[in-house]
Structure 1
Amino acid sequence: MESPASSSPTSGPRGRTRRAILDAAATVLAQNQAASLADVAAAAEVGRTTVHRYFPERSDLLRALGVDVLDKVAAATVRARTEDGPAMAALERLGQELFELGESLTLVFDESLAGTWKWEGWEDETEADRALARLIDRGHAEGAFDTGLDQDWIVQVLWSLLYVAWQRGRDGGTKHEALTLCLRTLRKSVTS
């Protein structure tokens, strides 16, 4: 029988419990990287032993969070339909979908945790990365994106603006305001 830590059920009670733990961990660790598994358990409204059953060590939880965020980015990219419509509209849809991932991505990009933990799989090119690259190439070909801005620059601008938008929300701005400013700045930053 597979242990809860090594399997990743997506439905049923085990799947819901695992999801609750991962979501709570993203929220708790985004606010305090030193938070304990007991803090995560309290936020997930489960017992500490339940968290340990799914994630015996903190490193197991962090590894699972990294994989979970990659899965969320992949799903967000699919939802954004990056191949459909004008490139700028597709980039804005992708920005909006990624913005909705909020704390999960904020956690991954937090420098204080990144200095102590290496997120596995984040250095590998994913289908989401390739979809964004194709979108940028299409935007260049359509004349929608400034051809003086290369792929890497536009990718970095997108992620930087998302981070600033998430910070705006953390600092008391509304979600709507943060997303609106993010997409407006993105549009102005990459257009020719």
Structure 2
Amino acid sequence: MTEVHETETGARARTRRAIVEAAVRELAHDAATSLGQIADAAGVGRTTLHRYFPDRAALLDAVGSETVARLTEAHARARLDDGDARTALLRLCPEYLLLGDLLTLFFTGVVPDTVLDEGGAAPLAALVARGHREGSIDRELDVDWVVGVVWAQLYLAWATLREGQAARHDIVPMLVRTVDKAVAP
């Protein structure tokens, strides 16, 4: 009995994840994408989608939760507490770039600012403030300004990648160099 329950739970988790991932992809391409289009992209029926997410708001909440989880993972991979804050910031930029279509959802407002504040802006602002205290980030640049510079450069990097104008291995060094030159004391 336990094995069957675990299999059902695993299948439910995979289906839910497929729906959320499809929502991220589809909403990044068109914020007005219908739930039917998301269900099709996830390879499930609309009834199945509604079993997991009764309405668009519930699905967007799940996308917001996924956003916070992926931002948290990016922070962990970047090892924000290792070394000076500027070096950690430069490790964080490529990790944020890996968020892919979630970046589009930030930039287009599909994911509300409150989600971004909870998962991304607060740790990023704390990192910049630490950089100010230790002198690794230019103290003349306001914390909010530096956070804005980072998001602006990520927007440029992601838009360039998404439009196929350059490869990731070309974009990352330019992104890191630009942010480094912008925030260095």
Both proteins in one fold, TM over 0.5: yes
- Deviations 1:10-50 (Å, cap 9, x if unpaired)? x7111111111111111111111121112112221222221
Unpaired runs of 5+ residues, structure 1, are 1-10
Superposed counterparts of 1:24-63, under 5 Å: 24-63=22-61
Query: What residue in structure 2 maps to residue 179 of structure 1?
Result: 172
Q: TM-score, normalised by structure 1?
A: 0.82
Moved over 6 A (4+): none
Match of 2:160 among 153, 158, 168: 168
RMSD over equivalenced CA pairs, Å: 2.1
2:15 equivalent among 3, 14, 17: 17
Is contact 1:66-1:108 (8 Å) kept? no
Contact kept, 8 Å, 1:80 with 1:93, in 2: the verdict is yes
> Where does residue 189 of structure 1 map in the other structure?
182
The Cα offsets for residues 129-177 of structure 1, whole Å up to 9 and x where unpaired, read as 4432332133223332111111111111111111111111111122222
Aligned partner of 2:131 in structure 1 is 139
User: Aligned to 1:68, what secondary structure does the other structure show?
Assistant: helix
Stretches of structure 2 lacking an aligned partner (at least 5 in a row): 1-8
1:25-104 aligned within 5 A? 25-104=23-102
Change beyond 3 A, Cα 1:118–1:71: closer
Name the TM-score, length of structure 2 as normaliser: 0.84
Preserved contact between residue 121 and residue 147 of structure 2 (Cα < 8 Å): no
- Match of 2:145? 153
In 1, Cα distance between equivalents of 2:19 and 2:137: 40
Task: State how many pairs are aligned.
Answer: 176
Distance 1:55 1:91, change over 3 A: same
Between Structure 1 and Structure 2, which shows a larger proportion of helix residues? 2
Q: Does the Cα contact within 8 Å between 1:82 and 1:91 map onto a contact in 2? A: yes
Distance 2:98 2:40 in 1: 24
Tell me by how many angstroms 1:63 deviates.
Answer: 1.9
- Deviation for aligned residue 1:120: 7.3
